[in-house]
Amino acid sequence: MSPFEKFLKQLENVKVIEPTISYDNYVTIDLSDKNPDLNKELLADAEKFEIYIEDYLQKNNALVAFGGYNEVRNLYKRSTIFNGEDFDERNIHIGLDLWTKEGTEVTAALNGNVHSFNFNNSLGDYGPTIILEHLFEEEKFYTLYGHLSLESISNLQIGDEFKKGEKLGTLGNAEVNGGYSPHLHFQIIKNLDQNSGDYPGVCSKNKLDYYLENCPDPNLLLKIN
Ligand SMILES: [Zn+2]
């Protein structure tokens, strides 16, 4: 484990969606290419996918379905923004997704300031997105919150300060969030390069080592068990 991962691990856990929902009401979900339920038809239709998630939550008596870090997915084939040849196809998810209801409160994972925000408005993209900047031993690192509502970024300014656990925004619906069932994409990023209001949330197999190192498992911080 790297020093940065150790740092994340020793931090007190925090929720990044609605703090009143206990982790007892969370359930893991497999959205990998190994899940036989995820046929083409389901993946192509946000409404059907939303029903699938709702059924899954109900069956598991849960309010939030989570997972997806370092997960190989077929979910991205419907959108051209992820296309590439063979090993260049971006289909490995490197954030953590939390699937729940539209409008659910999203909260800051750590004390920080708004680095940037953007409405990434393509099919399969993040929709409204906020990136917060934080410090680890004099070095900057970042947390990214994707698939938010438009209201989440409508009154935001670069540099705005948020405290750990403070409300940052709310979850958007398929009309604004890139065409997905409502969920938060949460990602930790060490080196943001020149990105602003956006950062890859999926990568190709041949860049996986770099991205896993640059974007450690968000659950080191969230500590959902
Ligand atoms: Zn995601």
Question: What single string gives the DSSP state of each residue in 212-224?
Answer: HHHS--THHHH--
Report CA(186)–ligand 1 centroid distance (Å). 7
Residues 99-140: pLDDT tens digits? 999 999 999 999 999 999 999 999 889 999 999 999 988 899
Lowest-pLDDT range, 59-63, 87-91, 128-132, 151-155?
87-91
Mean pLDDT of the chain: 93
Report CA(135)–ligand 1 centroid distance (Å). 24
86 pLDDT tier (thresholds 50, 70, 90): low
Q: Can you give 2-62 as a three-state secondary structure string?
A: CHHHHHHHHCCCCCCECCCCCHHHEEECCCCCCCCCCCHHHHHCHHHHHHHHHHHHHHCCC
pLDDT above 90: residue 76: no
Q: What is the pLDDT of residue 85?
A: 61
167 three-state secondary structure: strand
pLDDT above 60: residue 17: yes
pLDDT above 80: residue 79: no
Mean pLDDT of 46-75: 94
Domains of the chain: 3-222 (2.70.70.10)
Report CA(71)–ligand 1 centroid distance (Å). 10
pLDDT above 90: residue 25: yes
Whole-number Å distance between alpha carbons of 200 and 169: 21
Report CA(3)–ligand 1 centroid distance (Å). 25
Report CA(99)–ligand 1 centroid distance (Å). 10
Q: What is the pLDDT of residue 41?
A: 84
Q: Which residues surround ligand 1, an ion (CB under 5 A)?
A: 95, 97, 185
Report CA(81)–ligand 1 centroid distance (Å). 14
Report CA(160)–ligand 1 centroid distance (Å). 24
